[in-house]
Amino acid sequence: MPKYIFVIGGVMSGLGKGVTSASIAKLLQLTGLKVACAKVDPYLNVDAGTMNPIIHGEVFVTDDGGETDMDLGTYERFLEENLSRSHNITTGQVYKAVIESERRGDYLGRCVQIIPHVTDEIKNRIRGVARDSGGDVLLVEVGGTVGDIEGLPFLEALRQMRLEEGASNTVFVHVTLAPVLDSVGEQKTKPTQHSVQELRRIGIQPDLIVARCEKPLAPETKEKISLFTSVENRCVISNPDVEAIYQVPQILFEEGIVEPLCEKLQLGNRKVNWGNWRETTDAYTNRTGVVKIAMVGKYVALPDSYVSVNHALAHAGAKNGFKVEVDWVDAERFEKKPDSVNILDSYDGVLVPGGFGNRGSLGKIMTANHARINKIPYLGICFGFQMAIVSFARYVCGLKDANSTELDERTSNPVIDLLPEQKNVTDKGASMRLGGHDIAIVEGTLARRLYGSATIRERHRHRYEFNQDYRSLLEQHGIVFSGYSDSGRRTEMLEIPSLPFYFATQFHPEYVSRPTSPEPAYLGFVRAAIERRMSKNFPPDTGSSTLTVPRSKL
Ligand code: GLN
């Protein structure tokens, strides 16, 4: 019978509930248990695919083609395992299923209600994930914060699960904040007290409290939280700021979270076997150099829009002993002031990530061109791959009006065009080319050297692709297309062998990068950036890296 850990957030959003959840799961995994994670999101979207990444953060794509909440990426990176789309349950999916059942007549004669019909559907889905993952433990993180109206049916379902599964099979972890407001430095417990009261009002008493804090909780702070929340003192766990999120499992371990967790879930006396996780974590504290990357895009307002890209860069950097500093550059800036593209010269590498639509696209085309002319290492991802092709076709092959039909439907040189199967697609939800596809790599290419393999599997999220009518023209001018999928029909990678590192992929390599095994495209890119930095003898730089965890983010 699977055991459940329910993680519910309190006080405010942005506390790093996802990282806390993933870290708890990781610790249990390191004790030899089979652990899976699921996220419930109380919004009405069926999946995250239709949400703006500036508001909601990155859309994480699973191998089976799910467009999911970015926390699934955190789980995959920590657990180092692929999760399926069913591990992200939304209100939209739940209501859709209940309403479809109602229309089919499954509830004939009855009044369909939140309790029990919606809550039953939630419980069925959670149990289904536990069953399908075949694990010993399923950790379920609830999106949002206790007190949110839309989260109520989920919390009610979890309350019922405690009753039905029993206390030895369920644990409630409440993640809160212990802020320090005055110069005296006292850690405030009132927000945690109120948050627990709110939880209790709906019938949930937490078993453990994990409090986010700048510095570890003082013994008296723990005592106070314990007294006012009826949570045992040893179950009040500090979760202080750390340099790199991958250190959090270690912190929670030192705080002694494993013992009460295993005791409450009757999992026996379990020992954590760190394996190569420690080494991986140490790499983040032993970074000696800094490499600077310009990320040119549209969704620059919220770093979470490209969270997997940031992590993939950090994984590759740590492997080489370097911190990767990412500066977000607004592509539109270059359109307004073309000379400003020269700012890219001061970077060690330039990355154009995935994107959609016209706004900022010319700036990205200019970026791809500038990196090519000035031999700056370039990594293009999805839209960044497409814009590199448009730029090459325009500025090297002389097709002045070359474009993607996403940006100009009437272009006379559609070097990027709609995927054939997309021609009749009208629905926007879950209709792109999504998820993992096998890719064949051409022999004798940079791609082949990077991946060291003839086939790889990578994840996708796009509607447009390279139009192969232009293949020989571009090849004649020096581009090498180094990867294909769907028996050669889809072009997946390009490179320019005459340059130090000019590489782009139609797929999103960041989704499969893990701290212990950085993704090869990112590794190659970061290595090339380090080489450029060394050759230029740039002064050593210090400063925050993308994995330096800001207080509010963890
Ligand atoms: N907009 C492009 C397409 O749909 C690229 C998508 C992306 O970058 N994820 O093909």
By DSSP bridging, strand 289-297 and strand 322-330 are parallel
> Are the beta carbons of 35 and 137 closer than 8 angstroms?
yes
Is 549's pLDDT higher than 50?
no
Residue nearest atom 5 in ligand 1 by C-alpha distance: 383
Distance CA(282)–CA(278), nearest Å, equals: 6
Distance CA(71)–CA(83), nearest Å, equals: 11
In the set 382, 460, 465, 495, the catalytic residue is 382
Residue nearest atom 6 in ligand 1 by C-alpha distance: 462
Backbone angles phi, psi at 447, to 5 degrees: -55, -45
128-176 pLDDT, tens digit per residue, is 999 999 999 999 999 999 999 999 999 999 999 999 999 999 999 999 9
- The residue ranking higher by pLDDT, 406 or 51, is 406
Closest atom of ligand 1 to CA, residue 356: 1
Q: Is 382 a catalytic residue?
A: yes
For the ranges 9-13, 112-116, 198-202, which has the lowest average pLDDT?
9-13
Burial bucket for residue 86 (CB in 10 Å: 0-12, 13-18, 19+): middle
Distance CA(189)–CA(207), nearest Å, equals: 17
40-72 pLDDT, tens digit per residue, is 999 999 988 888 877 778 899 999 999 999 999
CB 356 near ligand 1, within 6 Å? yes
pLDDT at 542: 45
Number of Cβ atoms within 10 Å of the Cβ of 83:
24
Q: How many alpha carbons lie under 13 Å from residue 144 in its C-beta half-sphere?
A: 16
Burial 358-384 (b: 16+ CB within 10 A, else e): eebbbbbbbbbbbbbeeebbbbbbbbb
Distance 181 CA to ligand 1 centre (A): 44
Distance 386 CA to ligand 1 centre (A): 8
Residue nearest atom 7 in ligand 1 by C-alpha distance: 354
Mean pLDDT value across residues 84-108? 95
Is 540's pLDDT higher than 70?
no
Is 237's pLDDT higher than 70?
yes
pTM of the model: 0.93
By DSSP bridging, strand 322-330 and strand 464-466 are unpaired
Is 548's pLDDT higher than 60?
no
CA of residue 108 relative to chain centroid, distance = 42
Pocket test for ligand 1, best of 296, 408, 409, 461 (most atoms within 8 A of CB): 461
Identity at 227, one-letter amino acid code: L
CB 463 near ligand 1, within 6 Å? yes
Give the mean pLDDT of the chain.
93
Instruction: Please give the C-alpha separations between residue 552 and each of 14, 17, 178, 455, 549, in angstroms, as whole numbers.
Output: 6, 11, 12, 41, 8
3-state secondary structure of 377: coil
Distance 432 CA to ligand 1 centre (A): 9
CB 383 near ligand 1, within 6 Å? yes
Is 541's pLDDT higher than 60?
no
Confidence bin at 338 (pLDDT 50/70/90)? very high
Backbone angles phi, psi at 60, to 5 degrees: -95, 130
Q: Helices in 86-177 by DSSP H: which ranges?
A: 91-104, 119-133, 152-165
Is 109's pLDDT higher than 70?
yes
3-state secondary structure of 63: coil
Number of Cβ atoms within 10 Å of the Cβ of 45:
16
Peptide bond into 116 cis (omega under 30): yes
Residue nearest atom 8 in ligand 1 by C-alpha distance: 354
Distance CA(90)–CA(5), nearest Å, equals: 18
Closest atom of ligand 1 to CA, residue 508: 9
By DSSP bridging, strand 403-404 and strand 322-330 are unpaired
In the set 87, 174, 311, 508, the catalytic residue is 508
Mean pLDDT value across residues 531-540? 77
Dig out the tokens for 126 from the structure. Answer: 């959670």
For the ranges 232-236, 280-284, 387-391, which has the lowest average pLDDT?
280-284
Mean pLDDT value across residues 462-476? 97
Distance 459 CA to ligand 1 centre (A): 13
By DSSP bridging, strand 378-381 and strand 170-177 are unpaired
Confidence bin at 552 (pLDDT 50/70/90)? very low
In the set 198, 325, 492, 510, the catalytic residue is 510
pLDDT at 554: 23
pLDDT at 256: 96
Dig out the tokens for 175 from the structure. Answer: 């993640």
By DSSP bridging, strand 289-297 and strand 349-352 are parallel
3-state secondary structure of 111: coil
pLDDT at 447: 98
CB 354 near ligand 1, within 6 Å? yes
- The residue ranking higher by pLDDT, 529 or 428, is 529
Q: Is 510 a catalytic residue?
A: yes
Domains and CATH numbers, the chain: 3-280 (3.40.50.300), 287-536 (3.40.50.880)
Confidence bin at 300 (pLDDT 50/70/90)? low
Number of Cβ atoms within 10 Å of the Cβ of 288:
9
Q: Is 141 a catalytic residue?
A: no
Distance CA(147)–CA(161), nearest Å, equals: 19
Identity at 402, one-letter amino acid code: A
pLDDT at 423: 85
